[in-house]
Structure 1
Amino acid sequence: MRHSKKWLSVLILVAISVMGVVCPISSSYAKDDVVPFVVATANGPGKLDPLDAYDSESMDTIMQVVEGLYIYNYSSAEMEVIPNLAASLGTWSLDMLNLTIGLKQGVRFHDGSSFNARAVKWNFDRLQYWTFGLDIDHDGDLDNHPLGTASKSLFEQKNIPILNRTEILDDFTIRFVLNTPSVIWEKLLAFVPCSIVLPDTNYLYGYYFFNRIDLNDELIGTGPFKLTEYIFDEQLVFDYNPDYHMTWGENHIERMIYRIIPDPVTESLAIIDHEIHWGEVLPSYKEYWCCDPALIDLARKESVVYFMQMNLYTMKWEYRYASSFVWNHTYFLEEVLGGRHYELHVPVPDGMQYHHEGFDGEPYHDYRIAQEILLNSSDAEIQGNITLNGLSASSTREDWQAVAESTTPIAVFNFTRYESNLLHTVGTLMQEYLKDIGIKLVILDVIPWDDWVEDYLEDSDGHKNLAYSFGGWGPDYNDPINMIEPLYGTGALSNYFMLANDTWNDKLIATYSEVGDTRRDLFYEIQEEFCTVQVPSFYLLQLGGSITFNRDFLDEDSIGDLLNIFGHLYWFHCKFTPPIANPSPILTILLIIGLIGIGIIFTITIIKVGKRSKLKRESLRKLKEALYCPECGAKHDKPFEICEYCGKIKEEKAVRKYMDEFDPFIPDSEIKFCPQCGSFVKNQKCTKCGKTIVKS
C-alpha cells in the first residue's frame, strides 16, 4: 500500500507538471497572455532623444522605437545602407551636393499621425538647430541651442557643417542640400541621431523642437516596437507595432522586456535559470550551463580594432614595414588572449563595407620576409648596420637575434606604455619578435594614462619621442573612412604617427565624393597603400565578442541580423518560439477530474514528494548561485581561484565533475547539498553548518 501511494503521488505530481505546461500560470510581467521575450541589459537608457544619445543602452532602446530614412543591411556581410522610411535609395546630383529621396507612403507614427516630407524636414531642421544652427526667423543669422548634442561633431566634415538645408519637393519627396560633397551623409541617415521622431503639432517649431525628449517624455516614432513602459532601474517594456510599414513574419516578437540587471553574476544566473532569454554570461559560469542544450553562445566580431603604432618621424619605412611581419598573431590571439579575438591586418575591420585582404604585400607573420625587407634596403645607414654585423641572406634566425642582443643592434627603439597588464605583455612580445630582425626594443617605465596622453599626445613635440606604442580605435558610425581619416589624415586629432602626406590625404578626401565601385576600388587602394607604403602602424586584432541566448525561446536560425559588428539589436526578423503548448480541452478536463478525485486523498504524500522535488530544484539553484570547493566543499558566493576556507587551489575539472554528476532525477537521499544552508555535503555531513544528512 505504501508503494502504491508513492506511485500515485508521483503520478499526481506529473499531472501537476503537465498542467503547468498546458495551462501555464501568467507571470507578474505578462499582460494579455502574451509571453514576453526577456533581454538583460546592464543599464537603462540615459537618454531618449535620438539627437543626444551616444551610449549603447540609449541607442539600443531608441532604435526599437524610431527609425531613419535608411537602415544598415544587417543581413549583409558589409552592412551597407538600404531604404527604410525611404522608398528607395536617393539620387545624387553630379556635384554631390544634392541628395533627393522619395519617401514611403502610408507610414504612420505610433499615435496614428502620418509620416511625410514635412515630418522629415521638421526633424532635420531640428538637427541643424541643435548642432550648427538654423535660420529660424530668416534674418540671416543662425539660431542654435547652446547645449548642443553628443553627436554634433559627426555632422561636420573638415570643420564644415555637412547639411545646408532640407527642401520639400512634394508630400513624399525630400531633398538634402549639402555644404560640401559628402557621401557619408547616406551612412549618417542610417545612424540613430538621424532617426525620425513625431514632430510638434502641425509641424511647428514647438516644445519638442526647442527641448530635448527626456526620460519622462513619451518617445513616439514609426519603428517596429512601441515603448509602452519604462520603470527606472528595473525594466523597459516594448510592444510590437501591428501597423508597421513592413510585414511581420511568423512567430515574431510581440512583447519584449529589457530587464535592467547591473550585476553580471545575477545576469548570468538568470540566463542559466531561463529567466532571461538574451544576455551575457560570465566566463566563470559558462561551465555550469554548457550542458544545457537550450543555452547557446555564438562568437561574433566587433568593430573595435587594436594596432601597434609606429612613428614616421623616428623610424624609417624599412623598419616599420619589416616590423609588421614579425608579430606572431596566432600566438598572441590563441595563447595570450584565449582564442576570443580575430586576426586583422588592415584598418577596416571584417564586417564593415570595403574590408580588403589577400593583396600582395599584406603583412602577416613571417620573419624571413621581414629580414629580406632590411637586406634589400637601399638605405645606406641600414646597409651599413647589416654589414657591420655580418648579416646576409644566409644568416640564421639565431644570428639576427644575437645582433639584437649585442652592443651594435641594427636599430634601437623604445616602447612607451601606460598602466595596463596587457601592454606589458605586448611590449615583452614585441621585444622578442623584433630580435628576429636585429632590432633592440627598450621598454620604458610604465606611466599613468593621463601622463602618457599629456607627454606623448598633447605635447606638440611629444610625438617625436614615440617609436612603438599600442593603440585602439572604434568607429562612431558605419563607414570605412571613420576607421582611417581620424587616425591617419593630415592634421587629424588622433594622428600621432607624424603621417603628413598630401597625395595620401587627397585619396582620403576623395572618398567623400565617390560612390559605387569607384569608391570601393579607392578604399581597396587606400588599404593596400596603408600596409605597404605609409605603414604608420600594423594591426594586431579585431575584437571578438559573443551573444548568449536561449534557443528554446529564440529560433537560432533567425538571429543573423544580430551578429553585426556594431552589436546593434535589430529584432524585426527574429522568431520568438517560447516552449508553451496549447492545451487539449479533453486532456485538460481529464486532468482536472483526476486531480480533484485523488488530490485530497494523498495530500500528505504530495506535500512530502513536493518538498523533495523543491529540495532538488533548490539544490540545483544553489549550485548555480555559488561555486563549491572540490576539496572541502565550502560554498563561495563568487568565482574563486583559491578556497578561502581550506586554502586549496580550485581544480576546475573537479568542480565540473560535481555538476556533471548532479542529476535532477536522482533519489532525494543522494542529493549532495545541504537543505539547510545549501553547502556541499561530504560523508553525510554538511561542511559548513555541520548538519548531518542521513540517508533514507
Structure 2
Amino acid sequence: MFFMRKKPKGSLLIIVILTIMMVSPIMTGHITSESHQSNQPQSNNILTGMTLNYGVGSLIMDLDPQFAWDSASVDVINQVCEGLFGYDLNNPELSIVPVLATELGTWNAEATEYTVTLKQGVTFHDGSVFDAWDVQWTFNRLNWFIDNDMTQIAELYEPLASLYPGNPLLINNTEILDNYTVRFHLNYPYVPFMSLLCFSGSAILSQMSTPEFALLETATDILVGTGPYEYIEQTLEYTKLRAYDDYHSKWINDSPEEVNFIFYPDKASKSQALLDGEVHMIDNMDPSYIDLFESNPYITVTEPDKSTIIYYMGMNNKQINRTMRQAINYAIDYEFLIEDLLGGTVDRVTSPIPEGILYHNPDLDNPTLNVFHARQILVDDGVVPFDTNVFDDSWWRNKADFDPIATYNYTWNIGNMFRENLGILTVDNLREIGIDVVLTGLLWEDYLPLLLGDFNKLQLFGSGWGPDYNDPSNFINPLFSNTSASNNAQVNDPTLQAMMMDGLTEINETARRDLYYDMQTYIVEDLMPWVFLYTPLQQIAHSKLIGIISLNSMGILHFYDIDIPFDRDNDGLTDREEIDTFYTDPLNPDTDNDRLTDGEEVNIYHTNPLNPDSDNDGVFDGEEIYYHADPLNADSDNDGLSDGDEINLYSTDPIKPDSDYDGLSDGEEINLYSTDPIKMDSDNDGLTDGEEINLYYSDPIDPDSDNDGVSDGEEIYYHADPLNADS
C-alpha cells in the first residue's frame, strides 16, 4: 500500500519511531481524529478486572471491515473479528495459521479453487453459530460492495483486473460443500489468496447483526465478530472493547479483560500519559521521550527492530534507461543518507521484499557508493567517450555543470525535510557522474496527483510502500507490474512481468520461493528500477505492569496474545497467580492479614499466604519477621519454648535461647526449674540460675538451699557448702 490513504500497520501494539517527521506523510496518509481528549474511561473491574488503556493518535475511522483501510480502524477490527486464517505472531516469519479454519486449505491444480474446512463450536458475539453460510454471506456482501463501487479496498480483491477485465473480481463465488466446508472459486489463478484471507477485509461477519447492503456506521452501529473481544462503544475520546466469555480459543493467557483505546491529540501528550501512568502503552511516541522512558523504572523500551515499510527514490523507467539507473544506484552515498540525514535510526532497504515478509532474499549484492564504478558503467555503455578517465573528478563535475550527460528533475513535497535533503544529496552525488539534477518542491496537494497517476511528470522522487498482508506479491506486483496503478516508476520489463505472473500461480512452496528469490536478484542487481533507501525502525514503550510485549514485522496488534501479569493489589503476585495457583485474594495484598503481603510470603519468606501463622506457634508471620524469628519454625531459637510462648507469655527473646544469659535456656528455666527466664538470679542469692544448676547444684528459686540462715551466694563466697547447713 502507498503511504497516503492510510498510515502503516506498523503502529500495532507497537510504537513506530519514524525519525523522519513528514509534514505531509507521503504514502502513509496518517488519518487522525479532530476530537479532543476528555472524560476518559476508568479501569472498571470486568471479569477478573484486568483493564488495559492504550493511548492512540486516532480512533477507529471506519467500523466496517469491508471498507476500513486505516491502521487505527484495522487495529480495533482485528480484536473483534477473525478471518479463516491469521498469522503466528510468535513466529518471526509470521507463518499463516488457521483461525476459523481447522487447517490450511487445499488448491486445485490450476490454483483457481481453494477448499477450506471450518472450525466448529464457534459463536459470534451475538450468540449466533458460525458455519459455512456465514462465510458465503460475508464474501457475497464484499463482492456486492465492490460491484457497486462502495468500498475503498476493492483493488485488493481485484488484483488482476486489468488482465481480466471481463471478470475483474478475484472471487467468482463461494460454494458451500457442507455446513463446515467451503470452496472458493476464483476467476483467475491467485496463490496469494490465502494471505489475502488474513487481511481484515476478509473477516467473517455475523449475518444476524450486520446489514447486508449497507456499510456499518461507525458512529452508531456495533461490530459483531467471533474474536476474543466484543466491541462495546466508541465516543469522541475512546473506544471500548471487552473480553468475550465464550471465545472459541479460550482464555489461556493473562490477557486484559477490557481494552480502552484512548485518544490523545499528539505524540507528546501520549508519551506524557505513559509517564504519568494514565495508559499502559501507546501507538506512537515522541522520540524526545525515549531517554525519559529508559530511565523510568516502571517503563520498558524494547530494542529497535526493522519494520516492513520501505522507502525508496523512484526513477521514471520510461525516461531513465537501465544504464543510467545502474550508474545512479552506485553514485548515491548511502552511508551519509543513513547516518547523517537520518541519524542512524533506520536501516538500509536491501530488497523490494523487506525482511519479515515471506520469501525475503537476504543474499543480494546491493549497490554501494562507488563513483568510479558508476562512471565505468556510463563509459562501457557508450554514454560518454570510451577513453574518458573515470578518475578525473573535475571532468565529470564540469560535465554536469556545463554539458550534462542528462538532466533530471527531482520532485518532493514542501515541508518534508528528509525528502528535501535527499534532493540536495542527489544533486551533489549525481554531479560526480556528470548528471545535472533540478530540484522542484511542490505543495502536497500538487504533489499527490503525480504519485496517484500523473507519473510522466516525475523523474526522480521519494516514495514508500507497506504491506496489507504477508505475501511478496503484495510488494512486487503493485510496484512493478505494467498493469498496476501503483507502479509510479513506470516499470515495464517483460522478464520481470513473466516472473510475477508465475509467482501468482505457483502452488509449490519451494518453487514459489525460488521464483521470488530470482525476482529480487533481478530487480536489485540488474534492473535497478529505484534507489533503495531505508526501512524505519520500530520500538515499543510500555508499562512494566503489562509484562513483555514482542514486536512483529507487520505491526499487527492482538491483545489476546499478550500475557499481561496484572497485579491489581500490588502485592507482588499477578492476579492470575493468585487466582489459579495460590488461591489468594487478587484484590487484597495481605489475604490472611498477617502483616506480610501475599507476594512477600510466596516469593521471600515461603510462608503460607492463606494462614496467618504458618508454623502455628501463636505468632503471626508478619510479627515473626518483625522479631527476626523464623515464621516456618515454631521455636526459632530451639530453646524449648515456642515463639508464641516467648513473645506472648514469658516476654523472652524468641531468637535467643538464653534470654537472660544465665547459662540456662529459656525452655529449661520454664519447663524444668521454674526459674525466671528473663532474670539471671531468680532467687536473688548472688548466684546465677545457671551456676546454681550447673556448678553448685543449689536450688535456683531458694536463696538459702540448706536453710542455714546464709544465702547460697554468701556460702560460696566463704567457701562453705550451700547444700550443707553445717559446712
TM-score normalised per structure 2: 0.68
In the alignment, which of 563, 567, 574 is matched to residue 562 of structure 2? 574
Q: Partner of 1:374: helix, strand, or coil?
A: helix
Residues 170, 368 of structure 1: alpha-carbon distance in 2 compared, 3 angstrom cutoff: same
Shift of 1:467: 3.6
Name the structure 2 match of 1:278: 281
1:502 matched to 2:497? The reply is no
Letter in 2 for 1:522: L
Residues 323, 357 of structure 1: alpha-carbon distance in 2 compared, 3 angstrom cutoff: farther
Spell out, residue by residue over 1:110-150, the C-alpha distance to the aligned partner (whole angstroms, 9 max, x if none): 23322111221121222222223xxxxxxxxxxxxx46112
Name the structure 1 match of 2:354: 349
Partner Cα distance (1:258, 1:457) in 2 = 32
In the alignment, which of 60, 71, 75 is matched to residue 75 of structure 2? 60
Q: Partner of 2:367: helix, strand, or coil?
A: coil
Residues 365, 247 of structure 1: alpha-carbon distance in 2 compared, 3 angstrom cutoff: farther
Shift of 1:408: 4.6
In the alignment, which of 309, 316, 326 is matched to residue 321 of structure 1? 326
1:162 matched to 2:170? The reply is yes
Alignment of 1:430-469 (within 5 A): 430-436=426-432, 438-452=433-447, 458=453, 463=456, 466-469=458-461
Name the structure 1 match of 2:412: 417
Letter in 1 for 2:130: F
Shift of 1:27: 5.9
Q: Partner of 2:66: helix, strand, or coil?
A: helix
Q: Partner of 1:484: helix, strand, or coil?
A: helix
Residues 522, 282 of structure 1: alpha-carbon distance in 2 compared, 3 angstrom cutoff: same
1:374 matched to 2:367? The reply is no
In the alignment, which of 519, 527, 538 is matched to residue 531 of structure 2? 538
Spell out, residue by residue over 1:299-327, the C-alpha distance to the aligned partner (whole angstroms, 9 max, x if none): 33333221122233333322211221222
Letter in 2 for 1:539: F
Shift of 1:399: 5.1
Partner Cα distance (1:415, 1:265) in 2 = 33
Shift of 1:164: 0.7
Spell out, residue by residue over 1:542-567, the C-alpha distance to the aligned partner (whole angstroms, 9 max, x if none): 1233222112x2222xx23xx22332
Name the structure 2 match of 1:14: none
Letter in 2 for 1:128: N
In the alignment, which of 211, 214, 217 is matched to residue 214 of structure 1? 217
Partner Cα distance (1:443, 1:362) in 2 = 26
Residues 323, 58 of structure 1: alpha-carbon distance in 2 compared, 3 angstrom cutoff: same
Name the structure 1 match of 2:424: 428
Residues 501, 58 of structure 1: alpha-carbon distance in 2 compared, 3 angstrom cutoff: same
Partner Cα distance (1:302, 1:51) in 2 = 25
Q: Partner of 1:161: helix, strand, or coil?
A: coil
Name the structure 1 match of 2:91: 76
Q: Partner of 2:86: helix, strand, or coil?
A: strand
Partner Cα distance (1:197, 1:527) in 2 = 37
Name the structure 1 match of 2:299: 295
Residues 371, 255 of structure 1: alpha-carbon distance in 2 compared, 3 angstrom cutoff: same
| Structure 2 gap segments, 5+ residues each | 1-40, 162-167, 572-587, 598-727
Name the structure 2 match of 1:478: 470
Shift of 1:353: 1.0
Name the structure 1 match of 2:181: 173
CA contact under 8 A between 1:108 and 1:222: conserved in structure 2? yes
In the alignment, which of 362, 367, 382 is matched to residue 366 of structure 2? 362
CA contact under 8 A between 2:222 and 2:233: conserved in structure 1? no
In the alignment, which of 33, 38, 45 is matched to residue 53 of structure 2? 38
Residues 69, 356 of structure 1: alpha-carbon distance in 2 compared, 3 angstrom cutoff: same
Partner Cα distance (1:129, 1:263) in 2 = 38
TM-score normalised per structure 1: 0.71
In the alignment, which of 309, 330, 335 is matched to residue 335 of structure 2? 330
Name the structure 2 match of 1:520: 513
Moved more, 111-120 or 513-522: 111-120
Letter in 2 for 1:35: M
In the alignment, which of 236, 242, 260 is matched to residue 257 of structure 1? 260
Q: Partner of 2:502: helix, strand, or coil?
A: helix
1:487 matched to 2:479? The reply is yes
Residues 590, 245 of structure 1: alpha-carbon distance in 2 compared, 3 angstrom cutoff: closer
Shift of 1:444: 3.0
Shift of 1:418: 3.5
Residues 128, 412 of structure 1: alpha-carbon distance in 2 compared, 3 angstrom cutoff: closer
In the alignment, which of 247, 262, 267 is matched to residue 244 of structure 1? 247
Q: Partner of 2:239: helix, strand, or coil?
A: strand
Spell out, residue by residue over 1:634-690, the C-alpha distance to the aligned partner (whole angstroms, 9 max, x if none): xxxxxxxxxxxxxxxxxxxxxxxxxxxxxxxxxxxxxxxxxxxxxxxxxxxxxxxxx
CA contact under 8 A between 2:356 and 2:554: conserved in structure 1? no
Partner Cα distance (1:34, 1:453) in 2 = 47
Moved more, 177-186 or 537-546: 537-546
Name the structure 2 match of 1:625: none
Alignment of 1:605-624 (within 5 A): none
Alignment of 1:199-238 (within 5 A): 199-200=207-208, 208-215=211-218, 216-227=220-231, 229-238=232-241
Alignment of 1:99-178 (within 5 A): 99-132=114-147, 146=148, 148-159=150-161, 160-178=168-186
CA contact under 8 A between 2:293 and 2:541: conserved in structure 1? no
1:587 matched to 2:602? The reply is no
CA contact under 8 A between 1:37 and 1:576: conserved in structure 2? no
Name the structure 2 match of 1:621: none
Partner Cα distance (1:341, 1:370) in 2 = 25
> Larger radius of gyration, structure 1 or 2?
2
Shift of 1:345: 2.4
| Number of aligned residues | 528
Name the structure 2 match of 1:391: 389
In the alignment, which of 291, 306, 310 is matched to residue 305 of structure 1? 310
Partner Cα distance (2:49, 2:226) in 1 = 22
Spell out, residue by residue over 1:376-414, the C-alpha distance to the aligned partner (whole angstroms, 9 max, x if none): x2x33x241x53xx404xx26x45654555535554433
Letter in 2 for 1:477: Y
| Structure 1 gap segments, 5+ residues each | 1-25, 133-145, 202-206, 592-696
Q: Partner of 2:104: helix, strand, or coil?
A: coil
CA contact under 8 A between 1:531 and 1:538: conserved in structure 2? no
